[in-house]
Chain A
Amino acid sequence: AQSVTQLDSQVPVFEEAPVELRCNYSSSVSVYLFWYVQYPNQGLQLLLKYLSGSTLVKGINGFEAEFNKSQTSFHLRKPSVHISDTAEYFCAVSVSGGGADGLTFGKGTHLIIQP
């Protein structure tokens, strides 16, 4: 079984400052890694994903994440945040190899942008 730990439940950041949202995972098999964003009262939107290849993954809205296999981490970063980035961010994993298993999610990090 897989598990995901998002170390911070809330991260307050000033507008235009950089941010890092931390995600660690545990799995006995190879995994795919995902970051989703949820704006208030909406569904989840994919920010970026790591399936294979380059460990630095770029996503939408200026976000990027780096897969670190030795640290079992997949931290999300943005060099300069905007008020519109205020949302809940979820890290998730699935077993690689094309199986149909669902995603295992972390508990989420609420990113709060302060003006």
Chain B
Amino acid sequence: NAGVTQTPKFQVLKTGQSMTLQCAQDMNHNSMYWYRQDPGMGLRLIYYSASEGTTDKGEVPNGYNVSRLNKREFSLRLESAAPSQTSVYFCASRDRGRSGTDTQYFGPGTRLTVL
């Protein structure tokens, strides 16, 4: 049981390049999330998916797209990277199925630098 996994762990891009961050969970959770973490800002929600086939914008969605490929996988795409997107990106999945267990589980993060 790996929990939430993310690839890659580190990435350096040049301005204008594109890339996709991958996330997978093996806990059979319906809901999945992408956050970014910047120094002194805490974590901010980029996009989320309440269930397979649905996605919604969070607090900071500009410059990103997401795909909920199936129940396990939720990817985040940067079409044209900008230096302002330099950040640490965390994927999470949420256990909402049982009373008293509403908890988000986080992956290890992807550290992205855009030059």
| Chain A residues with a Cβ under 8 A of chain B | 4, 9, 32, 34, 36, 42-46, 49, 51-52, 90, 92, 94, 98, 100-108
- For A49, the closest partner residue in chain B by CB is B103
When distances are taken between beta carbons in the complex, the residues of chain A under 8 Å from B96 are 98, 100
User: Given the known A-B contacts A44-B106, A102-B48, A103-B104, are A9 and B40 also in contact in the complex, defined by CB atoms under 8 Å?
Assistant: yes
Q: How far is the CA of A42 from the CA of B106 in the complex (A)?
A: 10
| Chain B residues with a Cβ under 8 A of chain A | 4, 30-31, 33, 35, 40-45, 48, 50-51, 56, 58, 90, 92, 94, 96, 100, 102-109
Q: How far is the CA of A44 from the CA of B109 in the complex (A)?
A: 9
Is A94's CB under 8 angstroms from B42's CB? no
Q: How far is the CA of A44 from the CA of B50 in the complex (A)?
A: 21
Is A100's CB under 8 angstroms from B40's CB? no
Pairs of residues from A and B, 7 with the lowest C-beta to C-beta distance, nearest first: A100-B50, A105-B42, A102-B45, A44-B106, A43-B106, A107-B42, A105-B43
Is A102's CB under 8 angstroms from B35's CB? yes
Is B107's CB under 8 angstroms from A102's CB? no
Q: How far is the CA of A43 from the CA of B4 in the complex (A)?
A: 10
When distances are taken between beta carbons in the complex, the residues of chain B under 8 Å from A32 are 102
Please give the distance in Å from B58's CB to the nearest CB on chain A: 6
When distances are taken between beta carbons in the complex, the residues of chain A under 8 Å from B100 are 51-52
Please give the distance in Å from B41's CB to the nearest CB on chain A: 6
Is A102's CB under 8 angstroms from B33's CB? yes
Q: How far is the CA of A45 from the CA of B105 in the complex (A)?
A: 7
Q: Which of A43, A46, A90, A98 has the most CB of B within 10 A?
A: A43
Is B90's CB under 8 angstroms from A102's CB? no
